Structure 1
Amino acid sequence: MGLEDYLRDKNESGANDSWLNNIPIPKYKQPVYIIIIFIVLYVIVFVLCILGNLVVCYIIARTATLRDVTHSFILNLAVSDLLVGVFCIPFTLVGHIFTENNLGDVMCKVSPMLQGMSVATSVFTLTAIAFDRYCLIVHPTRDRLTVRQAVYLIIAILVVAAIIMSPQSIVRRDQSFQIGQLTLSVCGEFWPSPLLRKAYSAFLFVIRYAAPVLINTFPYGRTGIKLWMSKSAAAPKACSNQTEQRSRIIKMMVIIVAVFAITWMPLYSCWLLEDFGQLNNSQSEILHSYIYPVARVMAFANSAVDPFIYGFYSSNLRSRVADICRLQKTKTNVEARNNNNAEKTLDIVRKPRSFQVNLPDNRNMPEVANE
């Protein structure tokens, strides 16, 4: 049971509780040293998430050779991860540190909804990539998705993700509670009944986590077997660069799905434990103050790790990053050389400060007779 449900039940029943009535409500949920640890972790994940996904978005958008179906999906993943870094990580950290909501009603609704949309978009996009790779390798004679069709599919994924997360904009709000002489503002989910909340949590767990992860095992399993059999049947020299590149992309996507499953598992476990575990007030306080912040930073770390997986397994992205670095280094060297040449030119043409000519004294020269 969340803090918002506990406070609402207390206000409706009028029951006394020593946790709220006998001691003042603290401003922070954790001790200072725990808060510092949380801040450091969230800042590291935030910086890596923003920088890494910005680089991926920039490279794919500016490189014509990367404007294919697979990289269109990867661009969608990077944009989703970037939205998590901008709209979710900072506000989630603030919400985990302070007992009272300091972000207002708008961010109370927007931040969790964007986080949920990003997760749904990412996992549905991973599934689309899995089946696109499956059709390309296992059924190469079939027509592939075009870039235009991939864009339409991405738009459909975004619409479906928004529909799935739309209840969040209805049940989440900032609500004030009167605790003695104090008014406590809490951001939470206020469902009409506990049964609806449990049903929605189970639905999200299945549609955004369990089902996509299980479904992805089929196309990647079949694709991996097909690639392995192709390499085993052919001579080493017959293995083309295209086959090797496809194999690297399959490994990259399998690792991305595995990292997603591992990093998001603790947070989904916390949600299920909160809704179905029948926790008492003390256990719920520990869950919200200490376990949730760690579980969420692990989930956010998925958005920070993805760009580095792209760069490690995608030779196109890695070579493009190297080209940009070399270009920037060359540009810097050229500018420095031009500046040095300009300074030398100025030294040559600069007018001297003083110019003195020692002429002989006419008084000491012999007189010349006029002819």
Structure 2
Amino acid sequence: MNSNKKIIITAIDQRSTVAIVFQTITIGLIMIGSAVGNIGILLAIYKTKSLQNKTSIFVANLAVADLLAGLLIMPFMFICSIIGDWPFEDASCNLTGTFALILGAAGMNTLGAIAYERYCAIVHSMVYHLKITNRLILIVITFIWLEGLVLSLCPILGWSEYIYYTNEYLCTVNWAHDVSFTYTIMVVMYFLPLGVMIFCYASIFKVARRHLRQLAMLDTLSPPSSHNQIVSDSDTQPRIENSARSLRLKRDIKAASMLFIVIGTFVLCWTLHGCTMMCLALGDTCPVDFPEYVYTMTTWIAMFNSVCNVWIYGMMNRQFRDAFRSLCCIACLRSSNTQVIQI
């Protein structure tokens, strides 16, 4: 690469053999974990009827974005982490940068869409089916991918550019080339989804706390009857309502807890990368002089978010856990049957 390939920080690979092996193994594990985990999520949704709901449409969209990141971006990072340079053509750098921007925007904005869908399901449960229709879901998902596509085309059309960062082993936006584009990316891909998630989580938390107070009042007004007492219909009805609200409360708190973990993981994985990105944009005026390995680490932590999403949405949801067990059992049975046939 002659014109587009501008090496940032350093052009000489000064890593030790141990560092090369460690970095290569790390990105390899992230790549495999992302591919296997997100394929598992998609198979679980496809095979399990109870998971085929509105929430799972967004979860599947997130899994597709994370899976494509593992298939289209991380292999280039894997090769570059071994070689220490970009061995491909200019067009490959632009293409990889385009994919990185599209998939990054799709993943982050899908997280915001999931938070809003959960917010409507819990805070506005009575009108949820009127607010979240299949048509709206299709429009939102289409908008998410079109937005990423438009943003990714901007550097190719002249608003910023794609370059290879030596310390990140990745072709991405030249954050220092056009700061206005860098700020736009920060707002669209970070602050807006984060703002939506924080608002939705805060609203869910308020509803859960209000339900908790209502349950406490119901327990006070309708104490449990002894075995010797005859329970009248008037006593039974509040108790049934109490039980139903208790179940809803548990569901709401569980959803709020999962959303809290999503926000925490999102902030941890992308805020660190955002700091180094802004430092590259500011250049010599950056108040912090980060060591080279920090840029590598924060980029890969951001990539690791695609693996984290699998565990958050997969392992914290009982239906997904059951679906994973079924898939594993089916795989084991097929493997054992194949071995029997061979024998």
User: TM-score if structure 1 supplies the norm length?
Assistant: 0.72
**Distance of 2:198 and 2:161 partners within structure 1:** 34
**1:23-102 alignment runs, 5 A limit:** 26=12, 28-95=13-80, 98=83, 100-102=85-87
Aligned equivalent of 2:187: 206
Aligned partner of 2:299 among 296, 300, 303: 296
**Distance of 1:37 and 1:50 partners within structure 2:** 20
Give the direction of change, closer, same or farther, for the CA distance of 1:188–1:80 in structure 2 (3 Å limit): closer
**Distance of 1:264 and 1:187 partners within structure 2:** 17
What amino acid sits opposite 1:154 in the alignment?
I
Residue deviations 1:258-293, cap 9 Å, x none? 20111112211111111114169xx69x53xx2322
Give the direction of change, closer, same or farther, for the CA distance of 1:198–1:231 in structure 2 (3 Å limit): same
Give the direction of change, closer, same or farther, for the CA distance of 1:141–1:43 in structure 2 (3 Å limit): same
- Give the deviation of 1:139 after TM superposition: 1.9
**Distance of 2:121 and 2:35 partners within structure 1:** 32
Q: Is the 8 A contact 1:60 1:66 kept in 2?
A: yes
- Which has more radius of gyration? 1
Q: Is the 8 A contact 1:124 1:157 kept in 2?
A: yes
Residue deviations 1:201-235, cap 9 Å, x none? 12211221123213321121111110222133125
Q: Is the 8 A contact 2:97 2:162 kept in 1?
A: no
What amino acid sits opposite 2:320 in the alignment?
L
**Within the alignment, does 1:305 sit opposite 2:308 as a pair?**
yes
Q: Which moved more, 1:54-63 or 1:135-144?
A: 135-144
**1:173-322 alignment runs, 5 A limit:** 197-234=178-215, 235=219, 237-278=243-284, 287=292, 290-322=293-325
Aligned equivalent of 1:361: none
**Distance of 2:274 and 2:163 partners within structure 1:** 23
**Distance of 1:53 and 1:248 partners within structure 2:** 22
Q: Is the 8 A contact 1:231 1:239 kept in 2?
A: no
**Distance of 2:191 and 2:266 partners within structure 1:** 11
Q: In structure 1, list runs of 5 or more residues that go unmatched.
A: 8-18, 20-24, 176-185, 344-371
Give the direction of change, closer, same or farther, for the CA distance of 1:246–1:329 in structure 2 (3 Å limit): farther
Q: Is the 8 A contact 1:96 1:293 kept in 2?
A: no
Q: In structure 2, list runs of 5 or more residues that go unmatched.
A: 165-169, 220-241
- Give the deviation of 1:333 after TM superposition: 6.3
Q: Is the 8 A contact 1:30 1:97 kept in 2?
A: no
- Give the deviation of 1:113 after TM superposition: 1.9
Aligned equivalent of 2:115: 130
Task: State the identity as a percent.
Answer: 20
Residue deviations 1:175-223, cap 9 Å, x none? 9xxxxxxxxxx967679xx6x6111112211221123213321121111
- Give the deviation of 1:67 after TM superposition: 1.9
**Distance of 1:124 and 1:152 partners within structure 2:** 13
- Give the deviation of 1:59 after TM superposition: 1.1
**Distance of 2:85 and 2:311 partners within structure 1:** 36
Corresponding pairs, count: 304
Give the direction of change, closer, same or farther, for the CA distance of 1:62–1:166 in structure 2 (3 Å limit): same
How large is the Cα RMSD of the aligned pairs? 3.3
- Give the deviation of 1:174 after TM superposition: 7.3
Q: Which moved more, 1:45-54 or 1:161-170?
A: 161-170
- Give the deviation of 1:240 after TM superposition: 4.9
Q: Is the 8 A contact 2:97 2:173 kept in 1?
A: no
Give the direction of change, closer, same or farther, for the CA distance of 1:58–1:4 in structure 2 (3 Å limit): same
> The residue matched to 2:126 in structure 1 has which SS?
coil
